[in-house]
Amino acid sequence: MAALASVLIRLYPRAWRRRYGGEMRALLAHDQPSLRTVADLIAGAIDARLNPQSATVAPITEGDNSMSNVCGCNPAGVSRPDQWRSAAWMIGGTIVLALASILLQWQMGKNAFSESLLYAAFPASLMLSSECTYLKRYSGQARTVMSIGGAGMIVLMMWGAVAIANRI
């Protein structure tokens, strides 16, 4: 537990760690972080590195719910249009990746990459859609890195799984 907390805190810039590191350690020591919390902290670290803020900003007040506002653990503020955009990303992305997979299989025959696109169509689209909802609190750069990078990782993992399965 302490090792995970240490790794997560080291992802943040030094100025951020000096200011919030103690509070972050205390929060991570209190409860075992969920997968969602870990992903959120990674997104926060990307955002903190891409958009550093002055270390001289006024400290967070007691009524601010401290770290939950700093690390973006509360995805509030998602509007109805954001939800519709997210749904469009999920549906549209799934259709586009599935059609790309079918087209590749039609042109080249079944292969690991075209199969992986079909299997990754929905999870990758779901990751892309998070840019409009769950990751909305972060800067545009951080949202882009997390959503496109996450979708790319999903496709790569599926490709590797299909490649391994086809060799067995």
**Sequence ranges of the domains in the chain:** 2-70, 80-167
Query: Do 12 and 45 form a contact (C-beta atoms < 8 A)?
Result: yes
Nearest Cα to 103, choosing from 124, 93, 118, 120?
Answer: 118
Quick one: pLDDT at residue 58? 43
Is residue 146's pLDDT more than 60? Answer: yes
Check whether 70 has a pLDDT greater than 70: no
pLDDT for the residue numbered 126: 92
What is the C-alpha separation between 77 and 120, in angstroms, rounded? 29
d(CA 96, CA 123): 13
pTM above 0.75, yes or no: no
| Tokens matching residue 112 | 């690991």
- pLDDT tens figures, 74-121: 456 788 888 899 999 999 999 999 999 999 999 998 888 888 889 999
Structure token digits, residue 69: 């506002």
Contact 45, 11 (CB under 8 A): yes
